[in-house]
């Protein structure tokens, strides 16, 4: 899979993609993540990328031309399955959307900044818009990093234990059951007996029961879906 990301603050994306599992996935050639600095497409000597909003109001709006030029360039090089704008005024990301996106070949993600982007960019180019939750961040870089992380970990070979991605919270609309490791007794706080029993049928039943209990108490809305 290839993921291109357009950003006005590309340095913000250095860290999330250059460590741990996502870094390893790139090294293994399982995903190619390419960051594009919007400033490279800025207008004039000052490489302008934003301007004040028509009609007045606070903040600056990312201009249409630099973004359009960048997207046109990328689209001339390959076909994109989805062109995604991460923004708080969009449908909220969930595991189902992540699963679908993880099957695509080429994704292009646009991150906003300041007061947003010129609406025409959204109208003309975007095939999908995604919010990571009902709160507002300073820009779309961290939401893009979250989206990419959630997608990339589902690519076969990225996570060592294939089983582990399938048994995540949300994959079956249930939250994960509690997990424990050594010691079995920490200052009198004991691991549930069944997990030490070696009876895997019983262990599976216990995990299912706990997952259901946890979902009922903290996210009952998931059970309605």
Residues at the interface with ligand ADE (CB under 6 A):
86-88, 112, 131-133, 135-137, 140, 143
In the complex with ligand ADE, the residue whose CB is nearer, 147 or 158, is 147
Nearer to ligand ADE by Cβ, of 12 and 33: the residue is: 12
Least distance to ligand ADE from the beta carbon of 131, Å?
4
148 contact partners, CB below 8 Å, separation of at least 6: 3, 5, 16, 17, 22, 33, 109
The CA-to-CA distance between both ends of the chain, in Å, stands at 30
Q: Kind and range of the H or E element at 146?
A: helix 141-152
The smaller minimum CB distance to ligand ADE, of residues 46 and 135, is found at 135
Residues whose CB is less than 8 angstroms from the CB of residue 83 and which lie 6 or more positions away in sequence, other chains included: 71, 108, 110, 125, 126, 127, 128
Closest to 128 measured CA to CA, from 103, 100, 156, 152: 100
Least distance CB 142 / ligand ADE (angstroms): 8
Task: Please report how close the Cβ of residue 28 comes to ligand ADE at its closest, in angstroms.
Answer: 28
> Which residue's CB is nearer to ligand ADE, number 1 or number 132?
132
CB-nearest residue to ligand ADE: 143
Contact 85, 129 (CB under 8 A): yes
Tell me the closest approach of the beta carbon of residue 138 to ligand ADE, in angstroms. 7
């Amino acid at each position: 899979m290839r993921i291109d990301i357009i950003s006005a603050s590309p340095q913000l994306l250095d860290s999330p993609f250059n460590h741990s599992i996502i870094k390893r996935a790139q090294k293994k050639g399982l995903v190619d993540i390419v960051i594009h600095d919007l400033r490279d497409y800025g207008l004039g000597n000052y490489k302008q990328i934003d301007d004040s909003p028509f009609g007045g109001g606070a903040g600056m709006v990312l201009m249409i031309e630099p973004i359009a030029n960048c997207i046109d360039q990328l689209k001339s090089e390959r076909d994109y399955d989805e062109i995604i704008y991460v923004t708080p005024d969009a449908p909220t990301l969930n595991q189902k959307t992540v699963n679908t996106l993880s099957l695509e070949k080429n994704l292009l993600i646009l991150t906003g900044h300041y007061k947003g982007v010129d609406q025409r960019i959204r109208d003309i180019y975007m095939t999908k818009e995604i919010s990571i939750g009902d709160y507002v961040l300073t820009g779309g870089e961290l939401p893009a990093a979250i989206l990419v992380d959630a997608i990339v970990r589902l690519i076969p070979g990225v996570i060592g234990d294939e089983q582990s991605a399938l048994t995540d919270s949300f994959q079956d609309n249930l939250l994960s059951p509690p997990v424990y490791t050594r010691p079995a007794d920490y200052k009198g706080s004991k691991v549930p007996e069944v997990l030490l029993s070696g009876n895997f049928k019983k262990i599976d039943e216990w995990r299912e029961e706990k997952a259901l209990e946890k979902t009922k108490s903290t996210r009952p809305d998931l059970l309605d879906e």
